[in-house]
Amino acid sequence: MPLTPEDIAHVAMLARLGLSDEERSRYGAQLDAILEHMTRLNDVDTSPVGETAQVGELVNVWREDISQPSLSVERALANAPAREADFFRVGAIQE
Amino acid sequence: MSSTATHGTDTLRVGDREYQAVIGLEVHAQLLTRSKMFCGCSAAYVGAPPNSNTCPVCLGLPGTLPVINRQAVEYTVRTAVALNCEIPEFTKFDRKNYFYPDLPKGYQISQYDLPLSRRGWLQFHVDGEQRRCGITRVHLEEDTGTMYHAGDVLQSATSSLVDCNRCGVPLMEIVGEPDLRTPEEAREYLIWLRRVLMYIGVNDGNLEQGSFRCDANVSIRPRGSDQLGVKVEIKNMNSFRAVHHALGYEIERQRQVLEQGGALPQETRGWVETQQATVSQRSKEYAHDYRYFPEPDLPPLQLEAALVERIRGELPELPDARAARLRRQHGLGDYDAGLLTATREEADTYESVVATGVGAKLAANWMLGDVARLANEHRLPLQQSGLGVAGLAALLRLLEAGTISGSVAKELLAELYRDGGDPAALVEQRGLGQVSDAGALSSLIDEAIAQGSKAVADFRAGKEAALQSLVGYVMKQTRGRADAQLVNRLLRERLGG
């Protein structure tokens, strides 16, 4: 079931990718091929296998509620693309 | 806009048809953990300098991995059992994907199809009547950072500012069933829910600072219909009053749209306090596409029955049950029992005062009267006042034993509340003990009669009330220390009344 141009545009929008028409058709075809490849899994009989999102078989990996030192404000903001006082600065957002 | 919907009945009129409102509430409550949900940064973000409680995990830097805070899970289980929820043995976290600068990762770790708990209920009261609202689910997620927009602080209108201190603070979402019908019901549900969360010690209940937040879904439908109308989501209500007003406004707005033959779009509206109105938030009109998927960085949770049962066993007596017990055990009325159990501290205080032997009614009257007034005046609860709980108990015992009079107790209460001190020592030192010895009062009775010849004559002529001025004279001379009932009796004897 090939992806429609609308599907590609929607996925690009969700990922905030500004694609040109040419890129859209090139990456669209690639994404199509990936999904096509994955459909091979439909041929495998998975009826005896339980549904899971993890294969590590780990459960209850947790930590105690202990507060640790944080980064300094300078270190935290060191990679900020833009900064104002001790805040990260981003484009204006209308609330 | 007048809000005919907010008073009394839940019936609305659209033309000649009866309608009713359907309200469901979603509450977000921050958990009182020391550290964040998935990293060791401090969760105490209020008042912290901007971006001082962050680390590579909560800043969403590449290559980092979250680790679940066990206490946050236990607090959520505690909440779920307090709200009578089922707790499945298996639960997991999911990613809710969206781009917004308040979460630098680009997704929120939340729970989607296998939440920590489901299908509970909360009992509450509206005007003395018991109600019950279903709880759809209680799940665990992480809070977002704080955004400052143009006008909030100093920055220009072309940018917004982000503080990540709140990113990753453990957050519980409590989704209620659409079982509520009026703004009053919604408000009471919230008051009782907050009370439960504070009783069990998982949340501090601060609406203004946003540690307890509420969104509402509201629609209206013809009475008797079992279909839900088009629902409108309301945000930005940060007080019980705001919830009440916003719902009243929104129900009436929807009624008017339908009455004028209009249609209601599904939308999100924000409550604007300064306009006392809900306003459409157009930027969020298009449907969200969160693309939830299981969080690959977190192994799932397998909550053993023993863990759940331990937490259930540790649950304190809940406010509703405690109020019922106070009514039964101490013969208190509905209203007094409700007030005395409004917070766990208040109920503990009351019970510890009564446990020292002070009468239940007397303790209730003083706590809800003078003590409540002083707490309000000084903006300081009894527990933190100079008097303290033990001091109040000691003072009331002196009163009950007849060692001091009611008016002396009242004066001492106000003074001790402010300055502290030992009630018994103060009574001794200042000679405030009640004078209830007929011999000691005898000369003052004589004096009262001598100076009050008009009152004496009036009383003898049958004017009962005239006696009060003579009693008042004795009370004044003893600075309130005389036993007023005894003075009354002695005067009557002397005047042959």
User: Could you tell me which residues come within 8 angstroms of residue B239 by beta carbon, excluding any fewer than 6 positions away?
Assistant: B207, B208
- Residue B483 — pLDDT band, cuts 50, 70, 90? confident
Residues B294 and B336 occupy one common structural domain: no
Q: Is A90 within 8 Å of chain B by CB?
A: yes
| Residues forming a β-bridge with B24 | B217
pLDDT digits (tens, 9 = 90+) for B192-202: 999 999 999 99
Chain A residues whose CB is inside 8 A of the B92 CB are 53
Average pLDDT score over chain B: 90
3-state secondary structure of A54: coil
All structural domains of chain A with their residue ranges? 5-43
Q: How many CB pairs under 8 A join A and B?
A: 135
Residue B106: pLDDT over 90: yes
What was the pLDDT predicted at B426?
82
Q: What angle do CA A56, A57, A60 make, to 5 degrees?
A: 110
Please tell me whether residues B155 and B35 are part of one structural domain: yes
* Residue B186 sits in the same domain as residue B215: yes
Do B201 and B338 belong together in one domain? Answer: no
One domain, residues B328 and B290: no
Give the whole-angstrom CA distance, residue B316 versus residue B343. Answer: 12
Cα angle at B160 between B157 and B162, to 5 degrees? 160
- Report the alpha-carbon distance of residue B72 to residue B91 in Å, rounded: 14
Residue B460 has pLDDT above 90, yes or no: no
Contact indicator for B86, B120 with CB cutoff of 8 Å: yes
A5-43 — its CATH code?
1.10.20
pLDDT at B108 over 90: yes
pLDDT of residue B497: 53
| Pair (B172, B212) in one structural domain | yes
Q: For chain A, how are helix, strand and coil distributed in percent, rounded to 5?
A: 40, 10, 50
Same domain, B356 and B261: no
Q: Domain range spanning residue B419?
A: 317-430
Q: Is some CB atom of chain B closer than 8 A to the CB atom of A75? A: no
Of A59, A85, A92, the CB nearest to B299: A59
- Say if residue B302 is in the same domain as residue B344: no
B305 touches A: beta carbon within 8 Å = no
- Say if residues B334 and B128 touch (Cβ distance below 8 Å): yes
High-pLDDT (> 70) share of chain B, % = 95
Instruction: Give B431's pLDDT tier (boundaries 50, 70, 90).
Output: confident
Tell me the per-residue pLDDT of A50-87, one tens digit each, with 9 for 90 and over. Answer: 888 888 889 999 999 999 999 999 999 999 999 999 99
Give per-residue pLDDT as tens, B285-338: 455 789 999 999 999 999 999 999 999 999 999 999 999 999 999 999 888 998
Q: Hey, of B37, B94, B103, B159, which one would you mutate to test binding to chain A, going by the most A CBs within 10 A of its CB?
A: B159
B238-270, pLDDT tens digit by residue? 999 999 999 999 999 999 999 999 999 989 999
On whether both B480 and B394 belong to a single domain, the answer is: no
Considering the entire predicted model, what is its pTM? 0.85
Q: Which runs of E-coded beta strand occur in B146-225? A: 146-148, 159-163, 170-176, 212-222
For the cut 50, the answer to whether the pLDDT of residue B4 exceeds it is: no
pLDDT at A73: 97
Per-residue confidence (pLDDT) for residue A33, from 0 to 100: 93
B261 in the same domain as B224 = yes
CB distance B134 to B194 below 8 Å: no
Contact B311, B83 (CB under 8 A): no
Number of domains in chain B: 3
Cβ within 8 Å, pair A93-B300: no
Write the single-letter amino acid at A51: E
Q: Does A93 score more than 50 pLDDT?
A: yes
The residue written with tokens 């907050």 in the block is: B194
Q: How far is B65 from chain A (nearest CA, A)?
A: 12
| Alpha-carbon gap: A61 to the closest alpha carbon of chain B (Å) | 7
Please say which residue of B288, B307, B326 terminates a domain.
B307
Per residue in A1-51, pLDDT tens?
678 888 898 888 888 899 999 999 999 999 999 999 999 988 999 889 888
**Rounded Cα distance, B137 and B115, in Å:** 7
Verify that B470 and B398 share a domain, yes or no. no
Instruction: With cut-offs at 50, 70 and 90, classify the pLDDT of residue B5.
Output: very low
Residue B156 has a pLDDT of 60
Q: Is the pLDDT of residue B159 over 90?
A: no
Residues B323 and B245 placed together within one structural domain of the fold: no
Amino acid at A60: N
Please identify among residues 274-303 of chain B the ones whose CB lies closer than 8 Å to any CB of chain A. 283, 289, 291, 293-294, 296, 298-302
Q: Say whether B159 and A94 touch across the interface (CB within 8 A).
A: no
